[in-house]
Chains A and B, each alone.
Chain A
Amino acid sequence: MQKIKDFILSIIHLNNEYTSTAMYFGLYLFMLVLMAFFARDRKYDAKRVVIPACVLLWVIYLLLPFLLVFLEFGLDEQIRARTFWTLMIPPVIAVGFTALVFEVEQGRKRFMAIIAVCLLLMASGEFKINNNVFQKAENLYKLPQELVDVCDTVLGDGREVKLIVPYETAHVFRQYSTDILLLYGEDATIQRVVQTTYEINDTCREMMSEAPDLNFVGEVARKNQVDYILFDTVYQTFGGHSLNFDGYAESPDFAGDRSATDEQKAVTADVRLYNRKGEVFWGLREFGLDYVGRFGQYMLYRYE
């Protein structure tokens, strides 16, 4: 009984994962029905579109969940959701509506029908093209310019360098140059390429907190021959001093609890601020960290 329940839940979950509001999926099924019954002499008839789609729907909705639940053999969730791509949902909807629109008398009526269909398609979907999703490009790499500047600075010596960076920026550096190595990368939390040591995972966790334990981070940096450490002024404060003067915002993609324990805060409680030619920075020399420069919201330190 439990297996049958899992089977049904698996199908519902898969359907929701892909179709969301299900409006386009509903339109797709509607078009399949129309094509099955009203497109006999057309190229988009049952033989060419509907029957193969039914075979694929059977595979996606029944065969794959059955294999997964009853035989414990199958595709992972992401690939299962992508199996919907084989149905060619957008072109089938577009073909169906085009055929319907050309049933309308030529001229103004047809033009109105085209506009009506466009409005229906707009209302059926979700429009997410905005400045958050598509930001203004700062360079041809389409990477944040301040992080590209960090890359240029650390590569100044012309040799391979190893960095500890805030987790949310880790995906950027090695897109710029393979001479930049990272103690942990974008997969630190999921480790999809290789398993790393607990020590490195703990370092990543420390760097995600508002006041990383620099004794621990420094020790790991020493053991792993790290050259630079990058801090994020949006999240991090040392000695209770926030340096986010320009009010940079938190990234909604990396929201989460950043609070540090009292023990963590105690390590850097005595950190003082310094001012070098108008540049204010945390004095972290007692932890072996020399201030290099500020890059937007990020502060770069060389580990000696």
Chain B
Amino acid sequence: MKKLMLGNAAVARGLYEHGCRVASSYPGTPSTEITEELSNYPEVYTEWAPNEKVAMEVALGASIGGARSFCAMKHVGLNVAADPLFTASYTGVNGGMVIAVADDPGMHSSQNEQDSRHYAIAAKLPMLEPADSAECRDFVGEAYRISEEYDTPVILRMQTRIAHSQSIVELGERTDAGVKEYTKDPKKYVMMPANAIGRHVVVEERTARLRDFAETSPLNRVEMADTAMGVIAAGTCYQYVKEALPNASVLKLGMVNPLPVKLIQEFAAKVEKLYIVEELDGIIESHCASIGVKAVGKELFGLLGEYSQRTVAEKLGQPLPAGEAFPEAIPGRPPVLCPGCPHRGMFYSLHKIGVTVSGDIGCYTLGALPPLTAMDTTICMGASISGLHGFNTARGAESAKKSVAVIGDSTFMHSGITGLIDMVYNRGASTVIVLDNSITGMTGHQQNPTTGYDIHGVAAPAVSIEKLCEAIGVNRVRVVDPNNLKEFEATVREELAAEEVSVIISRRPCALLKSVKPKPALSIDHGKCITCKMCFRIGCPAIAMVEGKVEIDPTLCVGCGLCQQLCPKQAITGGDK
């Protein structure tokens, strides 16, 4: 049967068909749907872990235990999981182990543009890179085969345009790989120096064998055409090259680490001019330079952002299609907090109080944008709390009275807890606001350890944020509804004044949750409205000026009532108030 499938769904299909039994992941765009889709196959155990390091350790444990295992993450998630990654390379596997990592050239939904291929090189692990959904499915099977034959975890490198593009996949049946025997083998699995010294030898030998494999594997293929121009490319870039240069000869790499030597040298010898088209860093290019192959790459195509067929055509002097532009600049449409979003009232209050806000990763990062502009820093998962501790330590006791950290429930579980322990243990006095909206929001509603549900939506033990904070030693834990602006502001002011660490749990479920029923839309009483625009200060997309009057769009408004609390003339009608 043929099916139009998202690259991520095709990876899940490949895992199902090739006998994966255990998968553990932390959500991260653009990798999330792999594990979500996989959870629909009852033959595969799936779970959301609190972070990527835990997920990879679960997958490695399952592999040592004899099952084909899997974990998925976005590129920055691999930073979190780097510790087990490097040593998993030494232990190798028992059941096959595949790690999917999704890069995000162009940063559609990320805080940096790092290239995960560096990790494959540094950890000495084979890495495959599919170029469409059919390859996503097939490469998973090949990855498990390589993993078990070469005794190594295998990284499957995804990119936004592969992960989030749908193309046609021919579905197959599942072959159950079973659970292999586990035999105690400390020399392989106990990585203390004496044993690891021996395993490093194994890793280097394995890399040499994999390099030979790369020379002949069908994962890498030459498509000879016009020899005037040859191009080496993988993944999305291969597709851009095929689109822009249908007559060029192409060496398509499906295995991007280790890279072949002879195959590249022979291909280079057959073409008059060689180009390397690769997004992000010049990794294939550096490899070519190291084996004496001359090629044009980054000097022409650059290091920034994502490419397209137009990039390839433009840089190589091909004719470019053109369209007509609208005769006026179009206002930008940045993403915004949704109507009814519980973060809106919280950020309005913080903006009003005028505190420095140490931010984190999630929907609430949008609080950095006008008109709320209530965010000073956003670095990585968990950095809001630890970063604030550093900031206030540098600036002295008064600073803690004028600053807060904001972090979501899922991010707090991921890596906020350790920062909070640091803050309490080292006698900090800062204020931390945990934004508990009962879901992992930004990545599209995944459950997490605080929500009380597992990946299948089945009731599960819930971590109590209050009790956890108390156990860490936080004496001041407050729970408040961010949509009650007066109470929220008063609570923040009290906790800022406190001489010890405070945690405010800003608790209201995400407005997009099915369990949250929208209330009837509010409307403007134009007899009372004085167009003071106070209601515009919360940045609600449902409120706008229409022909000189303030109007509420009834198709967008969910009746949260936040704007009513700001209106000095009670001109916003409807709802409870």
Tell me if chain B binds chain A.
no
